[in-house]
Amino acid sequence: MDEFEQKGIITSGDLRASISAVTSFDMHGFVDGYMGGYWGISRCLVLSIFFWGLFAVMWGMVPSLPLFAFGWLLGTAPIWLPVAALITAWKVWVWYAHAGYIFTRDSVLLEVKMPRDVTRSPRAMENALSKLWTDSGETTFLNRIWQGQVRPYFSFEIASFGGQIHFYIWCWRAWRPNVEAMMYAYYPEVEMVEAEDYASKFRFDPETQDAFPTDWRYEPRNDAYPIRTYIEFELDKDPKEEYKIDPLSEILERMSILKPTEQMWIQIIITQSRDKRRKKGGTWLQLEDRFVGMVKEEIDALRKETVGKGADPNPDNPERWKSFARVPMYRYTEVIKAMDRNMGKHIFNVGMRGVYIADSKDFSAPGYTGIRWIWRPVGNPQYMNQLRPRRWGNPFDWPWQDFNNMRWNLMVRRYFDTYRRRSHFYAPYLMPHNMMSTEVLATIWHPPSAAIGAPGIARIPAKKAEPPANLPK
């Protein structure tokens, strides 16, 4: 924020943005970008103003317009009402079936206790996550729709309570053996113990506490572009501890310096990605994996950028030189390598959320700014992606967006409900998600090595070892 913005002065940039929004005739950009993103006026309010304004104009031209509109809707009801009723009933049934199935699942929260020395790189965590890439329970149409069965989903969490950091994995109790097996296979030195659910026992008091919840999503590009992963940090080469630059270092350090009255929670919910889309250039019914299709499409677009418009005979074409130049460019080379590498790995649907909680007297801008941009160390917004804060507390910038904190308090209550339920992909809360590979997930959640010196990490004093095989039974 510059000096003019701090003083509330309208700058030339504000004027240019206003003129551009009005003269561009881009309805989507005007409603969502300018009115919503810039002025904080909701899409519903803007479109409602347009609708009722046009309705008032037409009412002046057609005096009996309301009666005519009602009669037209009533007369055509035999056509549109059954269709609307069937679509609504179908959605309600799927919601009800999924919610009923999830309600019967018994869940467990496992705390992952770290030893003093974790020497393996995040590549081990990447291999471990592959164990959870499963669509168990969704075998047939009957399983999915009538019985309401859904794919298993898992939550990888980091929570700091007054600077004391804990790592957790949440799952259905039936999947506990699989989770423990995957962790012990690659990190035999860790301990996994069942813990009390910190989110369920927490009670938020708006009279004495404040909270800033947020989601994180890929921006500014689509899911084909990853963030900076542990491979960019050269952790795939297992360097010596003193040479490791772990992307979690800054994140855990920030969570370690909280006051006793502050808390930070991070939740990463994953499930197998089965997203499909219609194959471009194929038949109408031909589908393809959405992630693979997006990656191939973006790689082709990047390759075309490097050659311009081809061998254009027009000497006045400013991009003609690109058809002859074949100079390797770091940006194109690295982005294509990263996308191509991630395409060959297991892909998950991922929802990420976090919250900063503090007593009202200690709630401050550095605290909630810290949670909003906590993933900045792994971002590359210039030509790949970053994890940008979205939803929940982020849209509230202008005083007219919320009267007497009514919307804010409702939003916070709903947020804690979604966090406790670990709900993201199914009823009762369905939210936007990103597609990420195991490489990306292993970067943002893995047992921290000894190279991370954050004082708040709870480590067990000794490392476990297998007993000798020749002990008497």
Domain count, the chain: 2
Q: Which residue has the higher pLDDT, 334 or 322?
A: 334
pLDDT one-digit tens code per residue, 155-211: 999 999 999 999 999 999 999 999 999 999 999 989 999 999 999 999 999 899 999
Residues 150 and 247 in one domain: yes
pLDDT at 398 over 80: no
pLDDT of residue 470: 66
Percent of the chain with pLDDT over 70: 86
Is pLDDT at 314 greater than 80 in this prediction?
no
Tokens 């971002």 correspond to 379
Q: Is 6 a residue whose pLDDT tops 50? A: no
> How open is the CA angle 202-443-330, to the nearest 5 degrees?
145
Same domain, 434 and 372: yes
User: C-alpha 58: how far from its chain's center?
Assistant: 44
Question: What does the pLDDT average to over 346-351?
Answer: 96
Mean pLDDT of the chain: 86
Q: Does residue 231 belong to any structural domain of this protein?
A: yes
Please state the rounded mean pLDDT for residues 48-73: 87
Residue 244 resides in a domain: yes
Residue 469 lies in a domain: no
Is 47 a member of any domain? yes
E-assigned strand segments in 246-324: 262-272, 276-278, 287-289
Q: Cα 431 vs. chain centroid, distance in angstroms? A: 9
Strand partners of residue 386: 219
SS3 for 350? strand
251 plus 164 within the same structural domain:
yes
Same domain, 57 and 199: no
* Residue 184 within any structural domain of the chain: yes
Residue 471 pLDDT: 64
The verdict on residue 426 lying in a domain is yes
Instruction: Tell me how far the alpha carbon of residue 339 is from its chain's centroid.
Output: 18
Q: Which domain covers residue 68, as residue numbers?
A: 3-77
Indicate whether 23 and 125 sit together in one domain. Answer: no
Q: Is residue 288, in this structure, part of any structural domain at all?
A: no
- Burial track 81-115 (b if 16+ CB lie within 10 A, e otherwise): eeeeeeeeeeeeeeeebbeebbeeeebbbbbbbbb
Residues 67 and 143 in one domain: no
Among 93-107, 296-310, 374-388, the range scoring the smallest mean pLDDT is 296-310
Please indicate, yes or no, whether residues 112 and 204 belong to a single structural domain of this protein: yes
Q: Where are the beta strands (DSSP E) in 136-289?
A: 153-161, 164-172, 191-195, 209-219, 262-272, 276-278, 287-289
Of 18-32, 268-282, 432-446, which one has max mean pLDDT? 432-446
Q: Are residues 61 and 116 in the same domain?
A: no
Q: Are residues 70 and 155 in the same domain?
A: no
DSSP letters of 391-423? STTTT--SGGG-STTHHHHHHHHHHHHHHHHT-
Domain annotation covers residue 466: no
Residue 409: the pLDDT is 87
